[in-house]
Amino acid sequence: MSSPTTSEPTDDDLFEHHRFVASKGQDPLRVDKFLMNFIENATRNKIQQAAKGGHIWVNDTIVKQNYKVKAGDEVKVLFEHPPYEFLLKPEDIPLDIVYEDDVVLVINKPAGMVVHPGHGNYSGTLLNALANHISNLPENTSGRPGLVHRIDKDTSGLLVIAKTDAAMTHLAKQFYDKTSEREYVALVWGNMEEEEGTIEGHIARNPKNRLQMQVFPEGDQGKEAVTHYKVIERLGYVTLVSCSLETGRTHQIRVHLKYIGHTLFNDERYGGDKILKGTTFTKYKQFVDNAFKILPRQALHAKTLGFVHPVTGKKMRFDSALPEDMAQCIEKWRLYAKHSR
């Protein structure tokens, strides 16, 4: 059984280990052999796995393991696990604890907090805070202590943390078997045609932009992903929707909603930070810019979380209020829609 935390990593999940510039005297050499010559304790399999994952770059372009490095090439490799000298340091960071007992912890993560250390984020993460709050958290299959699932840095909302090995196994199976409950609230561009629906389409890394994920509807690449949605409120040029996840792929809601033509409001990575719907009036542009300032991130909140308690067998269900920035932005659109009728 695979853990739900093993969805395809993005650069946010990776750790930059090495960067090299090939010397002037470098004869053409396969990049995997080149890296083995320069990285201490590197194995061929380790480097090949990085290549298969698209995590080796030459001159900022992803290359395969048989690419031949030439003089002057800049070679960079990232791995999913931290460098050997990296230690997860406890940091005294406040946690918004919704529920806690001996085996599970439910927290409400603020927008802007990275869940776990990775490329460019080695401190200030949720795991740094958890290491300070709880000792000896169990590791998931990716080696990340306590994490049963995760949400993006700029997504707010509920997460469950496993405090024991048994709880990790039990909770991970619920996510894998699709028996957990996860409901998100999203503000999206456009007036959605249907009141509710289901989005299906495999998700994998975008081959043209390594920072994005992409839907592959034929299922020829990536992993299965299923998102159910319902309209909560129509607000003119934007729509407030509820999204329930069957699967937990990287950027799933963000990618699926863009795929059906309704990019998340102010989702910079997927183009939602532009005016995608509406008029050309100067006042409207100013209104949207002000809305962006109120909500300087993608409009997505993990509102509801449900699971069966690993020990008691009791159904646990938690609900969280929308954070202030998202609530204010929605109210701004509500007033605009009201006066535009």
Joined together, the tokens standing for residue 233 give: 């409120």
* Separation CA 114–CA 317 (nearest Å): 24
Q: Annotated catalytic residue: which of 13, 152, 273, 325? A: 152
Whole-number pLDDT of residue 113 = 95
CA 17 – CA 82 distance, rounded (Å):
8
CA distance between the termini of the chain? 53
Q: What is the pLDDT of residue 84?
A: 36
* Dihedrals phi, psi of 84, to nearest 5 degrees: -60, -25
- Dump pLDDT digits (tens) for 261-316: 999 999 999 999 999 999 999 999 999 999 999 999 999 999 999 999 999 999 99
- Residue 260 confidence (pLDDT): 97
- Going from the N-terminus, what domains does the chain have, and what CATH number goes with each? 4-79 (3.10.290.10), 88-177 (3.30.2350.10), 180-341 (3.30.2350.10)
What would the pLDDT profile of 230-255 be if each residue is shown by its tens digit?
Answer: 999 999 999 999 999 999 999 999 99
Q: Does residue 94 carry a pLDDT above 70?
A: yes
The stretch 130-159 carries a mean pLDDT of 90
Record the pTM: 0.79
Confidence check: pLDDT of 4 > 70: no
Tokens 């069966």 identify what position? 308
* 152 is known as an active-site residue: yes
| CA diameter of the chain | 70
The answer to whether 134 and 105 are in contact (CB under 8 A) is: yes
Question: What is the tens place of the pLDDT at every residue in 32-51?
Answer: 888 888 776 667 787 888 88
Q: Which residue has the tokens 């990593």?
A: 9
pLDDT at 5 over 50: no
- Whether residue 15 has pLDDT greater than 70: no
Q: Which residues, 6+ apart, have CB-to-CB distance to 163 below 8 Å?
A: 102, 103, 104, 105, 134, 137, 138, 146
Residue 1 clears pLDDT 70, i.e. is over it: no
Start-end of H helices in the chain: 31-38, 44-52, 126-133, 165-176, 252-259, 282-294, 324-340
